[in-house]
Structure 1
């Protein structure tokens, strides 16, 4: 199968899976935002900060290594799986005992029981790591995406039912557990991996070099992405973390909707072309062209429509999230373009450069977040995040395009020139529409239609429309 057919197949299944998954999750969040308070969401946001870190440790960098290495046989993968079972159980137990120190650090007694309960979700998430990546290696995108849809559905049903019954933030924990168990059941049935009480470490040694760099990058990137929630939760009221987290999560949805269907297929498809740098570069540039033409104008649209989005989706109790979302929306196009870089670093077997990029990104983000928290406002934190994301966009693409591909960075930035022209047209139109007073729904409808029309006109003016459609078909 050619790279084009592999990529197309992956994108088709990922599109069905991801869009269904995002839609289900989005509807769940809209319902729960009206059933639970910002403070209750803030408590779970604190737990999730630590949960995400432990899930990175559970992965141990093994997942991408399984995809990258073509010389792993069935027995070796079974030994790796056996190691992951022991490791997942150990980390889940350790996580459960962190309830007391986490509760003390955040001066919130509610975390004392909530953290150990969430360790159940951590355990089953860890157990799915090897089966899921094995399915991705085998390009069985259909099974992976269907399991994620069913997992999200289980999460939604359980969360909403328990929220209606008055279980407060526990409803969100029960939902996370239900999703993890559902996905574990499907992945296990699909791969039928064998657990060995005694396992060999030789397969782990074989993937160590790749996994090591990947793990270090994941840990560094974790602090880059989560330090804001850690510090806001510690030094500001939990409702402020709730407002910030809601805006931040909403700013991630364009990635989930428009890029994850592509990015999750990059390494499984392009890893076979590790030494063919021109093919990797052309693949990256083609994806960037699509994402930039949509992502940069989309950031403009969301910036000018932030108020309507927050109130329409979540209700009046979330108005303090509006300014944060407006600031973060200016970084959405950067997040969309950055989302594919990791897969190409991995495909080129340059996790050393991925690690270096992660170190630089984390350093800048830590400085920006600390400064934002010091200034005492979630709005300042959002501003600093926007600044550091912009700087990291420059250094990441220098390392990928120039160092990994051996290509010209100038050629990369030329791709962005026409999308910027379209964005300027969007700005002009939305400046005329900013004083609309038709009500939340009609305002949002008018702005959405205007965004689509100007986007199409912009593609025509910049003489990209036919090429853009052709590129999408390819």
Structure 2
């Protein structure tokens, strides 16, 4: 018991604790601003506007997932010698190819699905910006500069959301949904420049040998990244196909509400946790740190989920308006997303940090996809309840995947201890 208290005291006085405080504080502020901005937007735009945006976003994200070379996570995990100019150029060389593939693939799929609009082109362009700016952020993040990162990212978030609300109010319509990301990324880039946090990225065209080395490191990360992006996006695309843009708009809003706890905790429970497990903690301490983190995380999330269950019905129609009341049953069906999504992410980065991505793919993603396939099959039969069924599938996927992955971790840890 004394050792546990001593460990907690050391943690709360550590660099990691200070970074966590900044990240969680920024997460709370960003989630609050996003909620208020969304509250205004649902009164200025229609469910169909949100549904169409969700479908276009899903299409672009799916293309990006397929050709994503996972440069950000690889940079965070990389040893220092991999950040020397010649080694670093291997990552940027991969980014050049990734940019070209997303550009071509995005245009083709948007054209095939008859989704090419000004907003879609803007969103595609901002997604290409994100590839490079996120790489700069990850390089800066390795130094645990989370205070400055929180300042920059929170400022970008507030200004981009404010623009969206003002733009919609003054008649720009749904185009504001597509412009938010471009504005946010531009502000992040300028913030890093002002902080002196931009790295002069070296460029070169990769040889076959370079690709062989990069792909060897990337394989597990790429597969998991693809499956992660596909999970939500394919769900949205299936729902859009079987139930239409209006139901997809309701689903989009329900999911936005359900992921608020994850938005608040993710900077700490996923982003910093990956950096921490990868670079700042010994192998012997990893499991006990994971266990303590999951216990605290689970307790807080269970309270939030109970509050959502009890209060969703009166609060959502009151805040959004009666025309959005169809969001309520979908949100209640996403109780498992509220609890499971942050925990699922923490287990995911733990296994990534110890180079056990395949274990996570088999158990975490395997259970997750099994649940959503079952839900999609039921939704195809019962179209009237398709939104609720797919919402329940998301919940079951996150909860089931988190339990299965943690079970494997615990089993291997217990086996080693014997």
TM range (shorter): 0.7 to 0.9
Q: Extract structure 1 runs of 4+ deviating beyond 4 A.
A: 110-113, 197-207, 406-409
2:269 to 245, 259, 262: 262
Q: Does structure 2 retain, via aligned residues, the 8 Å contact 1:227–1:369? A: no
Unaligned runs of 5+ in 1: 104-109, 410-474
C-alpha deviation, 1:212, in angstroms: 1.5
Alignment match, 1:336: 342
1:351 aligns with 2:351: no
1:281 aligns with 2:292: no
1:179 aligns with 2:184: yes
- TM normalised by structure 1 equals 0.77
1:72 to 67, 82, 87: 82
C-alpha deviation, 1:242, in angstroms: 0.4
Mapped partners of 1:205, 1:147: distance in 2: 36
Mapped partners of 2:181, 2:117: distance in 1: 18
Mapped partners of 1:187, 1:59: distance in 2: 23
Mapped partners of 2:204, 2:396: distance in 1: 50
Q: Does structure 2 retain, via aligned residues, the 8 Å contact 1:217–1:358? A: no
Q: Does structure 1 retain, via aligned residues, the 8 Å contact 2:344–2:401? A: no
Residue 113 to residue 272, structure 1, CA distance change in 2 (3 Å): closer
- TM normalised by structure 2 equals 0.87
SS in structure 1 at match of 2:119 = helix
SS in structure 1 at match of 2:259 = helix
Q: Does structure 2 retain, via aligned residues, the 8 Å contact 1:220–1:359? A: yes
Alignment match, 1:301: 307
- Deviations along 1:197-218, one digit per CA (max 9) or x if unpaired, are 5567766654533321011011
SS in structure 2 at match of 1:167 = coil
Alignment match, 2:233: 226
Mapped partners of 2:20, 2:49: distance in 1: 36
Unaligned runs of 5+ in 2: 1-9
Please show how residues 27-38 of structure 1 align to structure 2 within 5 Å: 27-38=36-47
2:113 to 102, 119, 131: 102
Choose 214-223 or 158-167, whichever is displaced more. 158-167
Alignment match, 2:131: 126
Choose 310-319 or 300-309, whichever is displaced more. 310-319
Alignment match, 1:14: 23
Please show how residues 208-223 of structure 1 align to structure 2 within 5 Å: 208-223=215-230
Q: Does structure 1 retain, via aligned residues, the 8 Å contact 2:63–2:102? A: yes
Question: How many positions carry a matched residue from both structures?
Answer: 400
1:387 aligns with 2:396: yes
Alignment match, 1:60: 69
Residue 328 to residue 408, structure 1, CA distance change in 2 (3 Å): farther
Q: Which has the larger radius of gyration?
A: 1
- Deviations along 1:198-249, one digit per CA (max 9) or x if unpaired, are 5677666545333210110111222223322111111212110000110011
SS in structure 1 at match of 2:144 = coil
Mapped partners of 1:153, 1:57: distance in 2: 30
C-alpha deviation, 1:363, in angstroms: 3.2
Residue 361 to residue 92, structure 1, CA distance change in 2 (3 Å): farther
Mapped partners of 1:372, 1:94: distance in 2: 31
C-alpha deviation, 1:367, in angstroms: 1.6
Mapped partners of 1:335, 1:86: distance in 2: 31
SS in structure 1 at match of 2:355 = coil
